């Protein structure tokens, strides 16, 4: 019987906006494991915590967790925060502290209630501008992920570090008017699904190296995520 790998997270895992690292990973290990995509668009850590029963009942052999991008995005402004709270029915304002609590509870349950090998990924970069507040927060939250994961003696996967290293060797030149927003993402989705422009073409038009819209991945960004997840799985498969 083949091993079961559950990829747990948000839209970056679900993969219908931007290029799907999940499909790349599944193709790489074709015939070696069964892959289940448990990414849901717009999920925060709170949402993942609430739906853990559905993950645990799968009895997975491996769990790759990538969650926190929306937790970070929700801190961008009061307007964005209120929108997330309303849409996701959050019990409190998203913060670094609430994220730490949710992540700790997620990992405790997965560690105790499954026999899975658990790989916890740091966050992909948000924007490609090192001076942008969300870029900096993606690093701060990733350091928090690293701390919690190490304390729980789980496998930490250095995605944020990998993407930073990639950008440090190249010059990103995003168009300044392309501000991070749901409206911008919706515009990219329209151009992809209705105007038939590839995600990579849209990424190039916007001057990005890793993403389509500051958040969702182009082929390069998705490949870096896939490679990080692959290295984790290769320790066991």
Domain count, the chain: 1
What pLDDT sits at residue 1? 80
Does a structural domain hold residue 215?
A: no
Q: Would you place residue 224 in the very low, low, confident or very high pLDDT band (cuts 50, 70, 90)?
A: very high
Measured CA to CA, the distance from residue 100 to residue 144 in angstroms comes to 7
Residue range 220-232: average pLDDT? 98
Q: Which tens digits make up the pLDDT trace of 100-149?
A: 999 999 999 999 999 999 999 999 999 999 999 999 999 999 999 999 99
Burial group, residue 30, by CB count within 10 angstroms (0-12, 13-18, 19+):
exposed
What pLDDT sits at residue 176? 57
What pLDDT sits at residue 172? 72
Q: Is a pLDDT exceeding 70 seen at residue 175?
A: no
For residues 103 and 70, the answer to whether their CB atoms sit within 8 Å is no
Query: Chain-wide mean pLDDT for the chain?
Result: 96
Burial group, residue 101, by CB count within 10 angstroms (0-12, 13-18, 19+):
middle
Q: Which tens digits make up the pLDDT trace of 3-54?
A: 999 999 999 999 999 999 999 999 999 999 999 999 999 999 999 999 999 9
Does a structural domain hold residue 175?
A: no
* Cα–Cα distance list, 147 to 26, 50, 103, 125, 142 (Å): 29, 23, 11, 18, 9
Q: What predicted TM-score, i.e. pTM, was given to this entire model?
A: 0.96
For the domain that residue 165 is a member of, what is the CATH number? 3.40.50.1110
Q: Is a pLDDT exceeding 60 seen at residue 206?
A: yes
Does a structural domain hold residue 40?
A: yes
List the domain range (segments joined by +) for residue 71: 3-170+220-234
Does a structural domain hold residue 13?
A: yes
What pLDDT sits at residue 108? 98
| Nearest Cα to Cα of residue 200 among 209, 174, 69 | 209
Q: Would you place residue 173 in the very low, low, confident or very high pLDDT band (cuts 50, 70, 90)?
A: confident
Task: Give residue 86's region: left, alpha or beta (phi > 0; psi -120 to 50).
Answer: alpha
For residues 17 and 11, the answer to whether their CB atoms sit within 8 Å is yes
Measured CA to CA, the distance from residue 127 to residue 50 in angstroms comes to 28
What pLDDT sits at residue 177? 60
Does a structural domain hold residue 184?
A: no
């Amino acid at each position: 019987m083949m091993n079961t790998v559950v990829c747990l997270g948000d839209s970056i895992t679900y993969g219908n906006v931007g290029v799907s690292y999940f499909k790349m990973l599944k193709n790489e290990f074709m015939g070696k494991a069964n892959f289940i995509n448990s990414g849901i668009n717009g999920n925060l850590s709170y949402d993942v915590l609430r739906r853990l029963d559905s993950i645990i009942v799968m009895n997975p052999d491996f769990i790759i967790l990538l969650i926190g991008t929306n937790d970070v995005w929700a801190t961008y402004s009061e307007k964005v925060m209120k929108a997330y709270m309303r849409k996701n029915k959050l019990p409190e304002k998203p913060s670094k502290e609430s994220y730490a609590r949710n992540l700790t509870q997620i990992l405790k349950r997965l560690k105790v209630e499954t026999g899975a090998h658990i790989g916890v990924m740091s966050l992909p970069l948000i924007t490609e501008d090192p001076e942008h507040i969300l870029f900096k927060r993606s690093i701060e939250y990733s350091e928090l992920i690293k701390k919690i994961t190490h304390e729980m003696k789980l496998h930490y996967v250095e995605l944020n570090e990998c993407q930073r290293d990639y950008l440090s060797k190249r010059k990103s030149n995003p168009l300044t008017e392309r501000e991070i927003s749901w409206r911008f993402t919706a515009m990219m989705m329209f151009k992809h699904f209705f105007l038939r422009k590839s995600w990579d073409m849209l990424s190039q038009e916007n001057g990005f190296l890793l993403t389509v819209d500051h958040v969702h991945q182009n082929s390069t960004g998705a490949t870096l995520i896939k490679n990080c997840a692959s290295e984790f799985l290769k320790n066991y498969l």
